[in-house]
Structure 1
Amino acid sequence: MSADELAAEGATALPDKEVMSLLDLNANLDLALDVAAPIDLAVAANANIAAPINASVGANVLSVGSTAGAQALQGAEISQGITGDAAATSDQTSGIDQGAEPADTAIPAPVPTPSDALDGDLLNVNVDLNGDLDIAAPINGAIAANANAAAPINAAVSANIGSIDSSAGAVSQQAAVINQDITGDATADATQDSTIDQQS
């Protein structure tokens, strides 16, 4: 190549390496969230519970010429009486005003020019997200109950395991007299009044 040919060549300077990147990501997130969940619950209950339990266990394990005996005797007389009212009243009044003003944070995008093709980053990503969310969930509940529960349990277990000339005996006797009486009312009242104003 001659000196004239070398002088006729042209060149374009590239940007400095430290100011050039492959990816330019700008994310602008603006979220406005209004959440309202007033909860009201009333519970009333009358309950009687009786559970006499009797158990007897006898066992011979890997024993020769042994005897295992189990005897369980149970006598239960249970009288349960409920006289009264179980009343649950739940009144809820909700006034909810959710007026979240959406934020105006939009940034106008620059207008590219043809000379910008070799200038700056290889990929520019701009994300603008404005989100306004209003949630209202008023919950109201009332529970009333009258209950009687009686569970007399009697058990006898006897076992011979791997034994020779052994005897196993189990005797279980149960006499249960249960009287349950409920006199009264179980009343559950739930009243809900909700005024919700959601402006997004």
Structure 2
Amino acid sequence: MSVPPTDRKRPRDLAIRRLGFGDLPQVIAIERRAFPAPWSLAMFVLELSKQSGICLAAEIDGTLVGYLICSRYAHIWHVMNVAVDPAHQRRGVASALLRALFGEADAPGAEYTLEVRPSNTAAIRLYERFGFRVEGRRKAYYHDNREDALVMWRRVPVDASGPAPVEVAQRGRAARATGAARPAHDGGERK
């Protein structure tokens, strides 16, 4: 599976590392600036406590500017939360976080899912660049305004000769048209 190349606009001093409990004050501050319905401290503590998850932090000059929370359920990775401080958006921070996640978790046959607001077109385009495709919709998913959520999936081919992620997504759409698609994973909070 190919991952988009490094963004030209990415800050040179951007560092990606593991997110820790000590980061939570900055995480909560970013969460409140970035989302209309922010996660609670307890939600972050729960996700950081899971041994099977991957939680990443993005720093510029030692200052936390973004984070990614990804949980593993059986064989599926669920991207639960990707946030970048509004002052640092559109600079490649989210791309760097996703690239780091896939660098660590990608394996033949790996599957990722996430939910995103249909109104968040910038995030949808970002996820599509990384091979995610819309495969479903959850009605009234977001509690703040009852907006639906688009359910997106990214699948890594089982072997190098397998189909590209776009081809897998297209096959999934064709299967759904015939009633053969499997349902989307139901866990998770929001994007």
Place the TM-score, normalised by the shorter chain, in its bin: under 0.3
More strand by share: 1
TM-score by length of 1: 0.14
Q: Determine which structure has more spread, i.e. the larger CA radius of gyration.
A: 1
Higher RCO, 1 vs 2 (CA within 8 Å, ≥6 residues apart): 1
More helix by share: 2
TM-score by length of 2: 0.14
